Amino acid sequence: MRVLVVYATTEGQTRKIAERIQARLAGAGHAPTLVDATQAGPRTDPAAFDLAILAGSLHAGRYQAALVDFARRNAAALNAGESAFVSVSLSAAGDDPDDWAGLARCVETFRSETGWRAERLHHAAGAFRFTRYDFLKSWAMRFIAYRRGESVDPHADAEYTDWDALDAFVDEAVAAAQPGPAAAP
Ligand SMILES: Cc1cc2nc3c(=O)[nH]c(=O)nc-3n(C[C@H](O)[C@H](O)[C@H](O)COP(=O)(O)O)c2cc1C
């Protein structure tokens, strides 16, 4: 199966997630094409694939502009074919109902501004990347960690992604996109 994986990342965790998706697909004998949304040109057409998986991360309640642009430009093809969305965030690392309500709002905004229905959805927990934050971001993220009641080492990264859950989601998306047994004549 030909699978398009388009991702957008700010600090690298969603690239790592997209690479994991690519590896999972390749390991199962599929043909994944991995594309950074900032590099996606007019030739990156979801209609040429059996399945398209898009992944982006939340920063201040928004997914990366390049991913929003890609989904908007290709909404018709994405809606017409098989597609799946991986939303990466730190809210998904916990079980705070307000955080999850916020995630639902972010996804809804993404859907309405792109026109892509993105019905097959996986929320992946992301990471603190203190080694990549600038001074201001580092303090903002320390504050967020403090509010979440987490003690983080401000000089180290902390990853919360559940790789098994991601693999299971990829397997489900592939199974749903696979043509079923031929109907009896
Ligand atoms: C400046 C900043 C803002 C963020 N805003 C949100 C947010 O609004 N909601 C959320 O759940 N996570 C938020 N996060 C957490 C990121 O989604 C998380 O760190 C994710 O792993 C980033 O993925 P990336 O490395 O692919 O950019 C934010 C992180 C940073 C650094």
- pLDDT digit string, tens, across residues 113-162: 999 999 899 999 999 999 989 999 899 889 888 887 878 888 888 999 99
Going from the Cα of 49 to the center of ligand 1, the distance in angstroms, rounded, reads 29
What contacts 24+ positions apart, CB below 8 Å, involve 112-117? 113/68, 113/72, 114/68, 114/71, 114/72, 114/75, 115/71, 115/72, 115/75, 115/76, 115/79, 116/54, 116/71, 116/72, 116/74, 116/75, 116/78, 116/79, 116/83, 116/85, 117/78, 117/79
Domains of the chain: 2-126+162-177 (3.40.50.360), 128-160 (no CATH)
Distance CA 166, CA 49 (A): 21
Atom of ligand 1 lying closest to residue 58 CA: 17
Segment 97-112 shows an average pLDDT of 97
Going from the Cα of 91 to the center of ligand 1, the distance in angstroms, rounded, reads 9
Ligand 1 binding residues, C-beta < 6 A? 9-14, 57-61, 88-91, 126-127, 129, 137, 140-141
- pLDDT digit string, tens, across residues 23-74: 999 999 999 999 999 999 878 999 999 999 999 999 999 999 999 999 999 9
Q: Among 2, 24, 3, 4, which residue's Cα sits nearest to residue 124? A: 24
Going from the Cα of 56 to the center of ligand 1, the distance in angstroms, rounded, reads 10
Candidate from 26-35, 39-48, 83-92, 100-109 with smallest mean pLDDT:
39-48
Higher per-residue pLDDT: 75 or 146: 75
**β-strand partners of 5:** 34, 53
Segment 153-172 shows an average pLDDT of 94
DSSP, collapsed to helix, strand or coil, labels residue 107 as helix
Best residue among 89, 96, 160, 163 to mutate for probing ligand 1's pocket (most ligand atoms within 8 Å of CB) is: 89
